[in-house]
Amino acid sequence: MTEAILLVGGRGTRLRPLTVRTPKPMVRAAGVPFLTHQLARAKAAGVEHIVLATSYLAEVFEPYFGDGAALGLHIEYVTEEEPLGTGGALRNVASRLHSGPEEPVLVFNGDILTGLDIRALVRTHTETGADVSLHLTRVNDPRAYGLVPTDGTGRVLAFLEKPQTPEEIVTDQINAGAYVFRRSVLDTIPAGRPVSVERETFPGLLANGAHLQGMVDSAYWLDLGTPAAFVRGSADLVLGRAPSPAVPGRCGDRLVLPTATVAAGAELSGGTVVGEGAFVADGARIVGSAILPGAVIEPGAVVTDSLVGTRARVGTRSVLTDTVVGDGAVVGADNELRSGARVWCDVRIPAGSVRFSSDT
Ligand code: GDD
Ligand code: MG
């Protein structure tokens, strides 16, 4: 096992229009661009060659990761002119693979934070002789995912992407976005047009009698598709709940990156990360939040479960809960923001402008 494809394209980057001008895979989680965690985990599992399949803003990846040598990897980049969908993207990069037709190739959705035992998935694949093996996880509400019922031996019975009716909700096992493909299967995906691996390739393979094998586990798993989930993921990386060799420091209640300044009277907890050059003033309290590089948290501000963008500022005594502050935005003193509020990049909210609690 030496190769993997990482899917980081498409249109579904729900974080993109708000805080950060770079796409989500490059937003910092626990101090480094999120993608670094996936790359480092793949490397730790023995992967050497990674093809990044992307369709937008590809130019942000290459300057950062280069040829991958810093991570001990060989990384290649392929950009689609138009998004080809998950399956089309795989077919589009298949010619870059070195694996022979029978060899296993790993595929990862680029927006998942997981503690998956990658080697165990490959072992399952090899031992069962499957055409494709899928990592499955259990969730309370499977409607936003691909449902994957299996038989007693783990063999996949159906693949139901984003079920619409209650009758379709036949299991709580969902596609966790990590696969092992027999390389020759990738070569059978039609070229030159959009293909959804979830809606077309997997159902088609099943209809033709192919062997799809599921591996259910209870490892850490989080889809980072919403800003709130992204903040949660960053905190879980810092806390060590989500395992990653790329966390730049010791895991614990907080992670303060070199060149950040945290005043002695500031309190950081719950997996908070403070990025390079950021400043947290006296009396500020930050819980479970990501403070990106160069941001400033003024005295007495209380920031909980929130993301504060690069060079953004949170004013004195302001209280932020479940909020995203865009890069360069300024939240003046004595504001209160909560419940999914998103402050656009470079916007300035004057002091004392917004509150939720009563005026008394
Ligand atoms: N290169 C490329 N081109 N990548 C794409 C494209 C494309 O056209 N479309 C999507 N991707 C990438 C996304 O960047 C993401 O990393 C991955 O493929 C999955 O696409 P999403 O758009 O995030 O899909 P989803 O979250 O609605 O559903 C998928 O993930 C779930 C788990 O989080 C499906 O695979 C579900 O079955 C699964 O349960
Ligand atoms: Mg997704």
Q: β-strands 261-262, 279-280: how paired?
A: parallel
pLDDT of 11 reads 65
**What values do phi and psi take at 108, rounded to 5?**
-130, 135
User: Would you say the CB of residue 87 lies under 6 angstroms from ligand 1?
Assistant: no
84 ligand 1 Cβ < 6 A: yes
pLDDT score of 27 more than 90: no
Q: 294 CA distance to ligand 1 centroid (A)?
A: 31
Is the pLDDT higher at 9 or at 37?
37
Residue 17 has pLDDT above 80, yes or no: no
Containing 18, the helix (H) or strand (E) segment is none
Which of 198-207, 224-233, 283-292, 309-318 shows the lowest mean pLDDT across its residues? 224-233
C-alpha span between 311 and 182 (Å, rounded): 45
| Mean pLDDT in residue range 193-222 | 98
For the stretch 83-139, pLDDT in tens is 999 999 999 999 999 999 999 999 999 999 999 999 999 999 999 999 999 999 999
**Residue given tokens 């130019």 in the structure block:** 59
Element (H, E) at 181: strand 173-182
Residue 263 to residue 341: CA distance in whole angstroms: 27
What's the rounded Cα separation, in Å, for the pair 109 and 86? 9
Find the helix or strand (DSSP H, E) in which 127 lies: helix 118-128
Domains of the chain plus CATH, in order, are 3-223 (3.90.550.10), 253-349 (2.160.10.10)
CB 278 within 8 A of CB 313: no
- CB of 174 sitting under 6 A from ligand 1: yes
Residues 6+ apart with CB under 8 A from 191: 88, 91, 92
> pTM (2 decimals)?
0.95
pLDDT of residue 21: 47
> Which of 224, 180, 208 has its CA nearest to residue 8?
224
- 3-state SS assignment for residue 177: strand
Q: Which atom of ligand 1 is nearest to the CA of 198?
A: 37
Q: Ligand 1: which residue has its CA nearest to atom 4? A: 9
Give the torsion sign (CA, 195, 196, 197, 202): negative
Q: So what's the pLDDT on residue 360? A: 59
Instruction: Report, as an integer, the average pLDDT of 267-290.
Output: 98
- Provide the percentage of residues in the chain whose pLDDT is more than 70: 95
Virtual CA dihedral for 35, 38, 44, 46, nearest 10 degrees? -100
Active-site residue identified among 162, 193, 350, 356: 162
**Active-site annotation holds for 43:** no
Residues within 5 Å of ion ligand 2 by Cβ? 111, 225
- 15: pLDDT confidence band, cut at 50, 70 and 90? very low
